[in-house]
Amino acid sequence: MEDDFGTDPAPADNDSDVAEEALDSSLAPPAKPGEGYIVLAATPIGNMGDASARLIAWLGTADIVAAEDTRRLHRLVTSLGVKVGGQIISYHEHNEAVKTAELLTQVQSGKTLLMVTDAGMPSVSDPGFRLVAAAVEAGVKVTAAPGPSAVLTALALSGLPTDRFCFEGFLPRKSGERASRLHDLAVEKRTMVFFEAPHRLEAMLRALHTAFGPSRQGAVCRELTKTYEEVIRRPLSGLLEWAEENQIRGEIAIVVSGAPAGDAGTVEDHVAAVNELMGQGMRMKEAVAVISHDVHFSKRELYSAVLAARG
């Protein structure tokens, strides 16, 4: 059977040789002699058994380990029975603007830098993007040791379409900004993946319910790969009811199906979003202008619908 590149893979003479070759190749040489490089390494999102052999190898051999939280890094290496061989540097959202240039200089001098975050893949809703962007601009090699991903794990377990999806991360905390973002996403056809803190989950689901309607399918994925992993698959109305009745804890990802093909909704579907903005102190005219932006309903149609809903 042919692989994705159209050729038959050569049979392995010995499984141990293949494993040894895979481990050796994990420490790839830099692009040019004397120059260093950056490795983005995914860390377990819960179960330590998901740590890859490449992550373990890099933790022991990299010249510098840049960690989002050095305490989390200590717990990780202790659980894995690994000793960090290089210098440990704290690198997080509050200091990455300052630290990026410093780290890049060390890599350009020939150092190998391993970038890890608290869980999952660096730069995906975590520090790392700024470093990668600077490295690309400077012509510094960047590679990755892929592994666990809360986004992909939640998507796969949700039971919702996976052929096209988008990652939206955390929604804005302010209800007005959140309503505006969800209004834009209400017609999104792709499956959407979000992150949310447990104490804000109920408010988020209520906002999704308002913006997308009660029948849109969704899944709340909690404590993925951990002992108390739980995936609740229901329409948004059912998910909201579940959140109202339970005390939610743990790391959470929310997956929501995209808008049905050809379903643009009605003008009345957007009245609630206008009312939410008005509840934040915005005048009706301004709220209507915000919500009607980039949709097929005019401001006049939406304004009339809001007035009609008021009776």
Full pLDDT tens readout for the chain, 311 residues: 444 444 444 444 554 454 444 445 545 555 566 679 999 999 999 999 999 999 999 999 999 999 999 999 999 999 999 999 999 999 998 898 899 999 999 999 999 999 999 999 999 888 899 999 999 999 999 999 999 999 999 999 999 999 999 999 999 999 889 998 998 899 899 999 999 999 999 999 999 998 998 999 999 999 999 999 999 999 999 999 999 999 999 999 999 999 987 555 677 778 888 888 888 788 888 888 878 765 667 888 888 888 888 87
Work out the number of other CB atoms within 10 angstroms of the CB of residue 34.
8
User: Which positions ≥6 away from 65 have C-beta within 8 Å?
Assistant: 59, 73, 84, 86, 87, 88, 89, 113, 114, 116
Please tell me whether residue 85 adopts helix, strand or coil conformation.
coil
Hey, what are 152's tokens? 């992909």
Q: Say what the pTM is.
A: 0.76
CATH of domain 33-148: 3.40.1010.10
Strands 112-116 and 165-170 come out as unpaired
Domain boundaries, the chain: 33-148, 149-261, 264-311
54-81 burial, b if ≥16 CB within 10 A, otherwise e?
bbbbbbeebbbbbbbebeebeebbeebe
**For residue 304, what is the DSSP state?**
H
Fold of 149-261: 3.30.950
- CA distances to 62, 135, 253 from 138, rounded to whole Å, are 20, 5, 35
Helix/strand/coil percent split, the chain, to 5: 45, 15, 40
CATH topology match: 33-148 vs 149-261: no
DSSP tally for the chain: helices H, then strands E? 12, 10
